[in-house]
A = this chain, B = another copy of it.
Amino acid sequence: MDQLKATLKAAAARYNKLLPHHDQARDLVFLAHAKLAKEASYAHYGDFSGRPSVAYHVFGSGTSVSRPVRSSIYLADPALFSKNYATLCSKLKSGPKDWGDAEITLANSVVYTAVMAVACCFDLWQRGSRKTPGTVFEILMASLLQQMLPKASFSKHIPLAALVDADDASPGDRESEEMSEAAADGDDRGSVSTDLVIRATPASALGVVIPLKITTRERIVQPFAHQRILDSAFGAGVFQSLLVCISETQLDENTRSVKQVCVPGTVKLFQKYLAPVAGLYYCDIPQRYDAADMQRVIPVKSVGHLFCDVLGLLDIQSASSS
């Protein structure tokens, strides 16, 4: 894990400085994938009893068991994963405008495999780092989107708290920010900063916000609350959020099955009464979300579609803002 953590540190350092970090992100992903292939078992755990049922594997090492992995999407063979990763990057570079089912499926499986490989390594060998897989998800998606949009302006976060500090400066504010930073241990960041933000050019007023979450749980409220704040502060339509998630699952040890943890009522409620996000994207769309009553309220699509939609939104925006 030392090499993995060092590679992650290098990727994060470059990402935090907004430097190109594609090579570091790729190294990280392949290190994790190879480590699992070499050192962990990988076998069927149980099914989600949906219609149809969905099979899940887990990685194992000693007494540790990873989170559930959807075996129909995860590319366990290192050679195949490597080949498909390269294909995805090349297809992103030439632009995803004419993508069909094959490209969408390829993009989903590569992103899913990459993110889950790192997450499962941490599950098996570094249990305490609860937030790290989410950070890796963000770093990886930024590196892939940069392949597709080499000229776009990426920023890590919209620091929403600055909205109030700007018009409410007081002598105590420096102290307060230090306090909250030091004390909240990163939790405050989650509440008050968006995730990845992309603009067509640095001068564009309009932007796409991409919150990335592995297993949303109660944090599902954040992207909708952030969208509401962005609408209130900048006007509706200036920022559009595309919410990208993965792995809404839970092992059930008693029945040796897997649950897909869905909160359709909550998502509908937030979409209707908090603020509408432009779409909800998954590599492994939970069955309950891929249903007509959900689709009427919020577009639910695959991560393959995300690449097309980001390109579309930024094209329209750069045209309308120039």
Contacts and interface: CB of A to CB of B under 8 A. Distances in A.
Interface of A: 160-161, 163-165, 168, 170, 172-173, 175-177, 179-180, 182-184, 187-188, 190-192, 217-222, 224-225, 228-229, 232-233, 250, 259-266, 268-270, 272-274, 288, 291-293, 296-297
A160 B269 CA distance: 7
A317 B230 CA distance: 33
B292 A192 contact: no
A267 B192 CA distance: 9
A163 B233 CA distance: 26
Contact of A268 (B168, B224, B261, B268): B168
Contact of A292 (B163, B170, B272): B170
A269 B164 contact: yes
Given A176-B288, A225-B224, A228-B228, A187 B269 contact: no
Max count, chain B CB within 10 A of own CB: residue among A165, A177, A233, A263: A263
A293 B264 CA distance: 39
A266 B220 CA distance: 17
30 contacts: A160-B269, A163-B273, A164-B265, A164-B268, A164-B269, A164-B272, A164-B297, A172-B288, A173-B293, A176-B264, A179-B262, A179-B288, A180-B261, A183-B259, A183-B261, A184-B217, A184-B263, A187-B218, A188-B263, A190-B218, A191-B263, A218-B219, A218-B222, A221-B222, A221-B225, A225-B225, A225-B274, A228-B228, A228-B273, A229-B269
B274 A192 contact: no
A164 to B, nearest CB: 4
Contact of A274 (B165, B219, B232, B269): B232
A192 B288 contact: no
Nearest to A167: B272
A173 B263 CA distance: 11
A253 to B, nearest CB: 14
Nearest to A159: B265
Contact of A192 (B184, B269, B272, B297): B269
